[in-house]
Amino acid sequence: VKKKEEEALIMLLKERALRRCGASQRTYYECVKGRLISVAWACREDANSMNACLSEHTTDVALSDLKRRWV
């Protein structure tokens, strides 16, 4: 896979992950609204949940699978 194609597939993978993790993102963003410093402890669980979801959908395995389907 060429470098440009791989970059495009990575962008696609990230977009898909963001769509699949929409619920956890919304929960985190609702927690963050109106906060400044307290975000660090008040929204930690929501942030961890969102990051776990995003990490689950942006693994090397997921990228390899996407490459296999597109190439």
- Write the DSSP assignment of 6-63 as a string of letters: HHHHHHHHHHHHHHHTHHHHHHHHHHHTT-STTHHHHTHHHHHHHHHHHHHHS-HHHH
- Tally Cβ neighbours within 10 Å of residue 28: 20
Look at residue 51 in the predicted model and tell me its pLDDT.
Answer: 97
Look at residue 61 in the predicted model and tell me its pLDDT.
Answer: 95
* pLDDT at residue 41 is higher than 90: yes
* pLDDT at residue 1 is higher than 80: no
Sequence spans of domains, the chain: 1-70
When pLDDT is averaged across residues 30-49 and rounded to a whole number, the result is 96
Look at residue 47 in the predicted model and tell me its pLDDT.
Answer: 97
* pLDDT at residue 71 is higher than 90: no
Look at residue 50 in the predicted model and tell me its pLDDT.
Answer: 97
Q: How far is CA 15 from the centre of its chain?
A: 8
